[in-house]
Structure formats: structure tokens, C-alpha cells
Amino acid sequence: MQSLNKIWLFCVLLFVSSVASANLTIEITRGSDQALPIGVVPFAGSDGLPEDVAQIVQDDLERSGYFAPLARGDMFEQPSQSDDVQFGTWRSLDVRYLVVGTAEQTDGGFELQFELMDISGQRRMMGETVTVRGNDLRGAAHYISDQIFEEITDIRGAFSTKIAYVTAQGVGDDMQFGLYVADADGRRSEQVLTSDEPIMSPAWSPDGTKLAYVSFETERPAIYIQDVATGQRVKATSFEGINGAPAWSPDGRSIAMSLSKDGQPEIYIMDVANRSVERITNNNSIDTEPAWAPDGQSLLFTSDRSGGPQIYQYSMGGGEAQRMTYTGNYNARGRYSPDGEQIFLIHRSSRGYQVARQDLSGDRLVVLSESTRDESPSVAPNGTMVIFATQQGNSGVLSAVSADGRSSFRLPSAQGDVRDPAWSPFLN
């Protein structure tokens, strides 16, 4: 049984980029008591390089909640290749895994070598040479994190993914909104849209090249589709009333959305190629926040047809939508896990609005977050973490909790409110 006093609290602030930007920093708020102890030795030759690759790898692994890295100051020695690793030394530090490596500047970029050691098994588990073109040391570090994570956990790493999110500053009629895309660790953020009218509900296309989102730039809501790399975009829908909650189908051909053009907000599916829309729900109530099952065969959505908002599931085969949630009187914004077996949602508990998980096959609901003003859960493509928006003091911040609720971290922003996160699919 998990003992509360064994939960580790870390406060790790990453170096804030020297240039002013909307980068998010990371604060680990809850560490899992089941995290695996690992040592990530500084890579030999990395002094003077623009990025500390081993530190990025260490932070990635720690943020996942699966690993508890050894502090650098506690390392007696700093080997850079497997032949030099003294297993006894690391065993005495209770380290189970060790990462060693080298970094070298080359003509066109960098060459990184890393090896992963199983300390208790006294063996080399894997090693790889990574060629970096240009300056993308951060990308290479996230790639190395992905390899190490998968080798040890058998779960595909999601460190090379992105998050999209919305920022807001000001109040009332005097507000500024921004849509950003950043690395999954909040760094290297890039602005993709600014507006003095609201921006909402970014959603990634399944190939990770496009974002659909809601923008009020014409002083009413419309859904736009924007190519992330080029910035080119089209207005996809601007029906009378609500144009909201876009969600791409797994094959990328359709976008489910909520439109109120016929009165109440109803779920529609738009054909991306010809922009025609087909109505899915037909009900004198609110139907919104659709999400596709990974196999594309069903949709979750929020409806208040039973009174308050609850999660329903619609099968593409037709028939009546089935109510999925029965715990409490407010369950909204459901999202499937990548294996399609669980849903993550916002649940109103006695404490407030919290991120919760429920098995699709049962009706037992488990609250995951400790914060109480949560919104907009979005699941990592490997299913290990859920990123969501919450409040810290009077500011909107992004936070993430592991799917088992054991570990969590926060991504505060230096300025303004941050909300509406969307975790990208795998990008490689």
C-alpha cells in the first residue's frame, strides 16, 4: 500500500532560457514512491556545448514519474563508457540503472554516444550513436530519453512530442490571446497565433502537422485548421452559433465538433476534404466535447440530457448513445486512453473540479489530481501522463499527472494565464 509519508517532494526548476519567451518551466510536485533509481552521468566532452544533454535526459526521466534520478553531486565518479563502469560503486548508491555517454562537436553538428547499464544485472542493456545535424541537441536528448524509457519500461517514450496551449492576458474587453506549440517539457515554445479575441480548444491532427482550433477573431467563434510548420490556415466552419470543440478522427479524414446552428449544441462530424457536416446527436440538450476512440469506432461526448453534464459514448454503428459516468453530478470533457480501455475526464468532487480516470468496462471513478480547479485533460500518446489546465494562486498553469496518479508536475508560465493544453501524437 502506498504510504503518504513516502511520497517524495521535489522542487526542480530548470534553467530559464536567457531570452525572454513564453517558455514554461517545470516543477515536479509529486514523485512516485515506486520510481526506479537511475544515474545519468554528465556526458564527457559536453562542457561548452549549447545544451547539457545528460541533464535534459535526467529531467525527462524524472518528469515521467517512472524514475528517481541520482543527484549529480552524489556521484563518486563520472564514467563515459560501459567499460569504465564500476558496478559495485553504483550499487552502493542504490542505483539500478546507469546512463553514460559522450558528446562531440562535428562539422555539421554533433555526435552523441550513450549506453544504458543494468547495475543490478551487471550488464549493458543498449547503446547508440546519435548524429545531430545543426543545433538540435535538445531534440537528440529527448530521442535518447525515449530509447532509455522504452528499453526499461517496454513503453514507448513520449519525450519527443509537443504540446499546444493557449495563453491569455488581461480582463474583459481588453485581452490578448496566444496559441503556442512547445516541446513536451515546455521549452522551445513558438507562437502560432495571436489575437485580441479568444482562442480555444486546440486539437492536433493525427499526423501531428496541423492544429484545429476555435478563434473568435471575427467576433464570433469559427473553427480554423492551421499547418503548424508553415502557418497556412483555412477557416473550416463558421456556422451561426457555437463552432466548438474540434477533435480529429484517428484517420485524419474527419473532425468531430459541437455546432449549435440548429438550436442546441449538437455533435457533428465534418469531412475534412469537402467540409460537409453530418449531425450525430439529436437531442434537446447540450452535446459537446467530442473525442474519438483510438479505433475510430466510437465517440465520447459531454451531454446534460440527464440533468447535469455526464459522459456519453456514441457508437459509429449507430444506436442510442450510452451514458458512461454515474459518479457525482458533473463529469465532462472525456478523453480515451491510447489503448481505448480507460477514459480521463473532469469530475466535480466535494473538493472541486479534478482530473479523474474511469475504466471503460466499469463505473468506478478514481480522482488523479490534487488540484481542484482543473480543466481540459489531454492524454500523452503513450498513455502514461495526462496534461491539464489548473489554477495556481490566481494564475492559470498547466499541470500533468501520471495515469496512475502517483506522480505529477507543473509547468508555470512567467506571465499570464496558460490553459487548454493539447498533447501531440507521436511525431517520429
Partner 1 sequence: MQLKPLARSLAAALSIVVIAGCSSTGGTQDGDSYGSQDGSTTGSSTSGTGTGSQYGSTSGSGAGQQADSRIPEVRTIYFDYDRDTIKSEYESVVMAHARYLRANPNARVVLHGHTDERGTREYNMALGERRAGAVERFLNIQGVSPSQMSVVSYGEERPAVNGQGESAYAQNRRVVFNY
Residues that bind partner 1 in the complex, under the rule CB under 8 A: 168, 171-175, 192-198, 200-201, 215-221, 226, 231-233, 235, 238, 240-242, 244-245, 258, 260, 264-265, 286, 288-289, 302, 309, 330, 332-333, 346, 348, 353, 373, 375-376, 391, 394, 419-420
Closest CB to partner 1 among residues 83, 174: 174
What is the smallest separation between the CB atom of 29 and partner 1, expressed in angstroms? 20
Closest CB to partner 1 among residues 36, 367: 367
Please name which of 271, 274, 270, 242 lies closest in space to residue 258, comparing C-alpha atoms.
242
> What are the Cα distances from residue 290, in Å, to 138, 182, 326, 368?
34, 24, 18, 22
Cell representation of residue 67: 524514475
What is the smallest separation between the CB atom of 288 and partner 1, expressed in angstroms? 5
Residues shown for the chain = 428
Instruction: Tell me the three state secondary structure of residue 146.
Output: helix
What is the smallest separation between the CB atom of 273 and partner 1, expressed in angstroms? 20
Closest CB to partner 1 among residues 296, 416: 416
What is the smallest separation between the CB atom of 68 and partner 1, expressed in angstroms? 34
Strands 385-392 and 395-402: antiparallel
| Phi, psi dihedrals of residue 342, rounded to the nearest 5° | -135, 160
What is the smallest separation between the CB atom of 168 and partner 1, expressed in angstroms? 8
Closest CB to partner 1 among residues 263, 318: 263
Spatial neighbors of 96 by CB under 8 A, at least 6 apart, are 36, 37, 38, 118, 119, 120
What is the smallest separation between the CB atom of 2 and partner 1, expressed in angstroms? 29
Closest CB to partner 1 among residues 220, 253: 220
Closest CB to partner 1 among residues 346, 411: 346
H or E stretch covering 13: none
Closest CB to partner 1 among residues 40, 365: 365
Q: Are 107 and 120 in contact (CB under 8 A)?
A: no
Spatial neighbors of 20 by CB under 8 A, at least 6 apart, are none
What is the smallest separation between the CB atom of 420 and partner 1, expressed in angstroms? 7
What is the smallest separation between the CB atom of 341 and partner 1, expressed in angstroms? 23
Q: How far apart are CA 231 and CA 154, in angstroms?
A: 36
What is the smallest separation between the CB atom of 291 and partner 1, expressed in angstroms? 11
Tell the residue number behind the cell numbers 558496478, with chain if given. 87
**122 residue type, one letter:** Q
Closest CB to partner 1 among residues 77, 196: 196
What is the smallest separation between the CB atom of 193 and partner 1, expressed in angstroms? 5
What is the smallest separation between the CB atom of 283 and partner 1, expressed in angstroms? 12
Q: How far apart are CA 161 and CA 186, in angstroms?
A: 11
Q: How far apart are CA 216 and CA 412, in angstroms?
A: 26
Closest CB to partner 1 among residues 138, 347: 347
First and final C-alpha spacing in the chain: 38
Q: What is the DSSP letter of 209?
A: S
Closest CB to partner 1 among residues 160, 281: 281
Closest CB to partner 1 among residues 12, 168: 168
Q: How far apart are CA 284 and CA 273, in angstroms?
A: 30
Q: Within 10 Å of residue 7's Cβ, how many Cβ atoms? A: 13
DSSP letter string over 67-127? EEEPPGGG-S----SGGG--HHHHHTTT-SEEEEEEEEE-SSEEEEEEEEEETTTTEEEEE
Cell representation of residue 94: 542504490
